[in-house]
Amino acid sequence: MSTYRTVGDEGLMAGTERHVPANGVQLCVDTFGAPEHPAVLLVSGASNSMDWWADGLCRRLADGGRYVVRYDHRDTGRSTGWPAGSPDYHFDDLVADAAALIDRLGLGATHVWGISMGGAIAQRLAVEHPERVASLTLSSTSPALRIGKRPYPDLPPMSRELMASFGESRPDPDWDDPDSIVEHIAAGQRPLTGSVPLAGVELRELVARAVARTVDIRASLANHWSIDGGAEYRDALPGITVPALVVHGTEDPLFPYGHGEALAAELPVARLLPLPGVGHQMPPRATWDMLVVEVLSHTGGGAGKPTG
């Protein structure tokens, strides 16, 4: 049984995006709030553009006095991309992109909120660029997550049900039909959700926006999974001294809840925030009332102003 309350409908996207040169590529960036407020950099998961950070969630953070920055990874959305199957970069470059973006935007020490692969990028930023990180919020991720590699063997494996779903053959969408692509991506998200899923209409709207904005959807869906996983850094986690909020769904089938527990235990200054009934997914709307208050408190206090 969930403890979350559903809130009113809010728009999914804003219209302030622009390109910023960083680390030799062009990253598409969108912002909310006033630049003089503390900055929160939102880092998406693998193959996910910034569209997955819902506009309503970003606005609540901005209403709470934060300058919210979200961006498209390279090979997603409208950022620089490579042909499908031929990414000429490594995971380390995704980390360097985020560090360079903080510098190019003049954000200073930034509160970094990363989800899934974005959580690994956030961890690496805190290890390798501590002067750029004011705090960490780590959602649906794992200690020293390495893209394209299995989690460390001391951590719980993915659920049998999810493993079985990965083994099922799914036909490719009709790449000339945006609706077919949207349904293909949405269907792939469903095995990852818990008992508090993104509502069907909300998920389709979010995916449709991402598909519409993405220059090369085939490359976006494929390329992050074929890059080098990057440097090992788990032993460096105890050296991260900024405060961390570890947010983890209790029904995450990809990185079961033990991953969040381990991550919180390995970071010196960390608090574990369970999301009952949530799987491996972007924060469902029903969690926002609680989650925004927690993140605002973690990043400097204040409370989100409900809208809708």
Reported pTM: 0.92
Give the model's pLDDT for residue 179. Answer: 96
Give the model's pLDDT for residue 3. Answer: 43
pLDDT tens per residue across span 72-82: 999 999 999 99
pLDDT tens per residue across span 8-56: 334 334 457 899 999 999 999 999 999 999 999 999 999 999 999 999 9
| Neighbouring residues of 38: CB distance < 8 A, sequence distance ≥ 6 | 65, 66, 67, 111, 134, 299, 300
Domain 18-298, what fold? Rossmann fold (3.40.50)
d(CA 122, CA 95): 8
Give the model's pLDDT for residue 143. Answer: 93
Domain residue spans in the chain?
18-298
Average pLDDT, the chain: 90
Is 280 known to be catalytic? yes
Please count the other Cβ atoms lying within 10 Å of the Cβ belonging to residue 25.
19
Annotated catalytic residue within 129, 184, 280, 298: 280
pLDDT tens per residue across span 88-110: 999 999 999 999 999 999 999 99
Is 116 known to be catalytic? yes
Residue type, 69: V
Residue 95 near residue 228 (C-beta atoms within 8 A): no
More confident residue, 260 or 203: 260
Q: How far is CA 93 from the centre of its chain?
A: 17
d(CA 96, CA 90): 10
Give the model's pLDDT for residue 213. Answer: 95
Give the model's pLDDT for residue 147. Answer: 73
Structure tokens at 36: 């003089």
Give the model's pLDDT for residue 14. Answer: 45
pLDDT tens per residue across span 214-269: 999 999 999 999 998 888 899 999 999 999 999 999 999 999 999 999 999 999 99
Asked if the model's pLDDT at residue 301 lies above 60, the reply is no
Annotated catalytic residue within 44, 47, 116, 142: 116
Is 129 known to be catalytic? no
Annotated catalytic residue within 30, 51, 97, 252: 252
Report phi then psi at 85, rounded to 5. Answer: 85, -5
